[in-house]
Amino acid sequence: MQRETRSKRAYPKRPLIGVGGVVLREDELLLVRRGMPPHQGLWSLPGGAVELGEELPAALEREILEECGISIQVGPIAGVFDAIFRDQDGRVQYHYVLIDFLADYLAGELIAGSDASEAIWTPLAESLNFDLVEGTRQFLASLQAGRPSLRAGRHQPGILYGRI
């Protein structure tokens, strides 16, 4: 299957579906610095576009492996978001529907690959100190404030909906 090129993601005819992961390793959260637009240079949750014929959990597993070099166990959906970016003329430059899952680290050495310029584990309590994509900041703050445990296998959160 041929992967969609980045240029085909700009000015799409319809929204693209993306997945993201709130990936935890004990009390640490996985963050990536975006290497490509939109939000290039900012920190966010890892993830990417769903490919044709791919189920959402499989897409997240693939994206985390490509972007971070690690294997994960995908848990429940934590949030669904509209990510719509307009250019200076008001035209839709990027439009994603993002589905974020809770996930647990399984194995592998963390490396930045694919669309990430950096990938790090950070204590969950310190994650809001990063220069985060604003929607990611709000999402993580909401998760941290309302849930005693973010572990993928232990808790079914209420699904958040919003705009990033």
Instruction: Please report, for the chain, the start and end positions of each structural domain, with discontinuous segments joined by +.
Output: 14-146
At residue 2, does pLDDT exceed 70? no
Query: What proportion of the chain, given as a percentage, has pLDDT over 90?
Result: 70
pLDDT of residue 42: 96
Average model confidence (pLDDT) across the chain: 88
- 3-state DSSP helix/strand/coil % of the chain, to nearest 5: 20, 40, 35
What tokens were used for 162? 């919003």
Buried b (16+ CB within 10 A) or exposed e, 84-113: eeeeeeeeebbbbebbbbbbbbeeeeeebe
Which whole number is the average pLDDT over 79-90? 93
pLDDT of residue 1: 39
Which whole number is the average pLDDT over 45-74? 97
- Do 42 and 55 meet the contact criterion of CB atoms below 8 Å apart? no
- Which one is the CATH code of 14-146: 3.30.1280.10, 3.40.50.300, 2.30.40.10, 3.90.79.10? 3.90.79.10
pLDDT band of residue 148 (cuts 50, 70, 90) is: very low
Q: How many helical (H) and strand (E) elements, i.e. helices and strands, does the chain have?
A: 3, 8
Which whole number is the average pLDDT over 35-57? 94
pLDDT of residue 8: 78
Rounded to two decimals, the pTM is 0.85
Would you please indicate which residues are annotated as catalytic (active-site) residues? 118
Query: Who has greater pLDDT, 23 or 144?
Result: 23
Interacting residues of 40 by C-beta distance below 8 A, sequence separation 6+: 34
Interacting residues of 82 by C-beta distance below 8 A, sequence separation 6+: 95, 96, 97, 98, 162, 163, 164
Which of 50-54, 125-129, 148-152 comes out lowest in average pLDDT? Answer: 148-152
